[in-house]
Structure 1
């Protein structure tokens, strides 16, 4: 297991270079992405779009904490919508993290396994102009290692507000989760998360954007803020519609025990527009 992180890093960097090539290809050959490429890019920028997708978000961070640790996280993030009525959808979003980390909890330590899952359900009325969604968010203790999870079950509210026009998406998504049950010997969970985003898509399905992610741990009184510019593209692998995106993760604010020196993210999202 001691070489798992190193191998993950090599695979991650290989994937990044591959994704960049796909992005360039999509920009040069827009017809390959199909006539609805920009429409799909806009829908994927909308967290409550009625669109089934399965993003695989790869995150790599270095220089974490006093032991200069490194961490690779694969977030498996399916989005599944349900039509409740002609004017109301329920958008369910799931995040299941697989974590491989080195020198985070101590020098020469290593943890690998599942972390806690987050499940969010947005009730999203069909509106024009301003798009919004609201609903519950749940923290589910699925961690397979003590140091990878909270051993707590949590719940709280989530909200999305955004404006979207053709080619332009701007808004924010946020949740606040409190622990309500679980191992009494572990610290309570009380955390706020928000992502503020802006993106612009093109006819080819390519997109440029930037987002800011803010995490506030109220129990530990720590704040982590990163700024993340991105480049992406919608294209096809055979008959399968896929979105690729890459972005540096630039830390802006954070305590030295949790703030990485730098990070990188690569996303592969499998899209099912006909569902």
Structure 2
């Protein structure tokens, strides 16, 4: 598993290097950061809400899933998910490194396991379009979580995102489904779907309200235990860290109106997203 993790990290660092190394050789650091700081909060906030924007970003998204089982235990998932655009924004890559903490559900206290879960890599090809912006490509799940935090299966499938940006709104949805195709033959097969619906309303001066529930379905489970459907929302603000570096801060609270018998009742999400617009790496 350690070798697999190191390989995955090497791939991501390689992608970053290919995209930024040549431009960084020509960058005038102070003046570029000043231009970045002068970019409007509204533009940066709108770009941060668009998963297909030509925008390098480093989100740290923490999800606290609350009230599992008879002892109302909580699981915590910190998703470190760098987004790297390539080829002038024609290809958008996102890799999710989930760091999880799983409690001992059979007791009122205690931990079962913590560490890296299965890594998820997605690449979206973004064709030129007017009105509706779309992206499509593969989603690949790497079995880096071991026997407790992961499926021990290699899984893959299609991923698709579409969005519109009328006025101060960004509205869209991302959907993917992954099936296992290799891995530990003693473990259950993987067949699950994710739907991320998002709606963001810009309020001005970097402030916004949003709702981005992540709906999931496990097609291998019994019918009554397949779906988790959250309902809720929150908001956030774009700020300039040190007056120069864009940082998008947000928080939402969701109640799972549909959930399995053994599933979380609530989810509290907090995210800090560092933004690096690609003009930061433009040649002078």
Q: Give the Å deviation of 1:213.
A: 2.0
Aligned residues: 237
**Whole-angstrom distance in 1 between the partners of 2:257 and 2:127:** 35
SS at match of 1:126: coil
Deviations 1:159-203 (A, max 9, x none): 011111342111100000000000000000000100111111133
Q: Any conservation in 2 of the 1:213–1:227 contact (CA below 8 Å)?
A: no
Q: Note the alpha carbon deviations across 1:110-162, whole angstroms, 9 max, x for none.
A: 2111110111000011322100000000011111x422100000110000111
Q: CA deviation at 1:42?
A: 1.0
Instruction: State which of 132, 137, 140 in structure 1 corresponds to 2:139.
Output: 137
Residue 168 of structure 1 is matched in structure 2 by 169
Partner of 2:20 in structure 1?
none
Contact persistence 1:67–1:103 (CA under 8 A): no
**C-alpha RMSD over aligned residues:** 1.6
Kept after mapping to 1: 8 A contact 2:230/2:256: yes
- Given candidates 118, 121, 136, the residue that maps to 1:119 is 121
Task: Using the TM superposition, give the Cα deviation of residue 83 of structure 1 relative to its aligned residue in structure 2, in angstroms.
Answer: 1.4
Tell me, what secondary structure is at the counterpart of 1:220? coil
* Conservation of the 8 A alpha-carbon contact between 2:239 and 2:246: yes
Gaps of 5+ in 2: 1-36
Aligned equivalents of 1:62 and 1:212: distance in 2? 15
Gaps of 5+ in 1: 1-32
- Which residue of the partner structure matches residue 183 of structure 1? 184
SS at the partner of 1:165?
coil
2:252 maps to 1:250: no
TM-score norm. by structure 2 comes to 0.79
The two structures have a TM-score, normalised by structure 1, of 0.82
**Counterpart contact for 2:101–2:111, Cα < 8 Å:** no
User: Does the 8 Å contact 1:91/1:121 carry over to 2?
Assistant: yes
2:111 counterpart of 1:98? no
Task: State whether residues 81 and 95 of structure 2, in contact with CA within 8 Å, keep that contact through their aligned partners in structure 1.
Answer: yes
Structure with the higher strand share, 1 or 2? 1
Match of 1:72 among 69, 72, 76: 76
Moved over 4 A (4+): none
Alpha-carbon shift at residue 256 of structure 1 (Å): 2.1
| Equivalent of 1:52 in 31, 52, 56 | 56
